[in-house]
Structure formats: structure tokens, C-alpha cells
Amino acid sequence: MRVIVTSMGLIRSFLLAIALLAFLVLALVANVGVWSLTTLVDSQAFAATTSRIIARPEVRSLLADRLAVRLTELVVPVSGRVPTVVRAPLGLPRAATSDDVRVALAEVIEATLARPGIVAIQQGALEELHRAVLELIEGRDDAGAQDPDIVLDLDAVVSAVAEQLDPGSTGFLGQVVPSAWGRSPWWTRSG
């Protein structure tokens, strides 16, 4: 009888240990799961979090640099000669190089991204990006299957930069971007 009681006690202790171990693992997974649910899975929460991240100076600076590189590729011809329509709004001298354009554009973009009004535009673009990612994961996006990359649509930011550079008119960026964004350079389209 004592042997049975001891065995039952051992089994109970063993089950208790297993349950505690399971609780430890489950608590860990649940903690990360709840966080991912409230931060990464919900589109609005994701956009709000990412907007806060973009508002940080280090990230804003890097984003401005990357965007400036892409824009410079679009507005400066391969020959390297910077057109007047590009130089003038940026206040660059005649001998300006594409690197000067990139640096000047990065400064303007960084200043634009710091404007409070741009946050709403960013949030919209980020929500779209998030939906595109979710659709890609769920296999609902046919375009995503053909194009393996997902692009964050920053046309609105570029338009704001163009407006800041050349207020009152469409500006040199306004003429080429977003219509030429990711397609042929503007001079081949206009010329």
C-alpha cells in the first residue's frame, strides 16, 4: 500500500514538473506572441510603431540618404552633367556633381521627413506596405508573386520635397516623380 502511495506521489511530482516546464515555455511564447500581435500583425499598430521609428533622427537620416541616392539616379543623367533644372532649386553651382545633388537632396528630404504633416502620409504608405506584406504571406497577391520585392511607396514624400524646393510650381521632382519613379529617367521621357 505504501509503495502505491509513494508511486502516486512520484507520478504527481513528475507531472507537476512537466506542467511547470510547459508553463515556462508557454509563457515565453505567449509573451512574444501577444507583443507581435499588438505591434507587428495589426496594420495600424505597425504603421504607428514604424512612424515612431522613422521619427528617430538616425533612421530619418538613413532613409533620407537612401531616397536621395535613388532620386539622384533618376534626375542626374548617366553623363554626370547636372541639368540646370535640377541645380537651381537646390542652389548648387554650375560645376555641381551628382554627389553634390545627392547630399543636397538628402538634407531637403531629411528636413521634409521631420515636418509634422508628413507623418500622416507616412502612416498611409506604411499601412499599405503592411497590407502588401500580409497579402504576400497569405498568397493573395498575384503581383507579389511576379515581383519578388515589396516597395514602400514614398511618392507623397517626394512630392512634398518637390513642393519645398520649388513652391508654387510642380518643381523638377514634381515633373519626373512619381510619374517616372522606378521607370525611365525623366529626360528620356521629356526629350
Where does this chain bind other proteins (CB under 8 A)?
Answer: 12, 15-16, 19-20, 22-24, 26-41, 49, 52-53, 56, 58-59, 61-62, 65, 129, 133-134, 136-138, 144, 148-152
How big is the chain by its Cα radius of gyration, in Å? 27
Nearer to other proteins, 26 or 111 (CB): 26
How near is the Cβ of 63 to other proteins at its closest, in Å? 8
State the cell numbers at 106: 538628402
Cβ count near 112 (within 10 Å): 22
How near is the Cβ of 72 to other proteins at its closest, in Å? 16
State the cell numbers at 175: 515633373
Distance CA 90, CA 172 (A): 10
| Three-class secondary structure of residue 101 per DSSP | helix
Nearer to other proteins, 39 or 190 (CB): 39
Nearer to other proteins, 50 or 112 (CB): 50
- Contact predicate 92/100, CB 8 Å: yes
How near is the Cβ of 181 to other proteins at its closest, in Å? 12
How near is the Cβ of 39 to other proteins at its closest, in Å? 5
Nearer to other proteins, 62 or 92 (CB): 62
How near is the Cβ of 82 to other proteins at its closest, in Å? 25
Peptide bond between residue 185 and the one before it cis (omega within 30 degrees of 0): no
Nearer to other proteins, 61 or 164 (CB): 61
- Contact predicate 127/44, CB 8 Å: yes
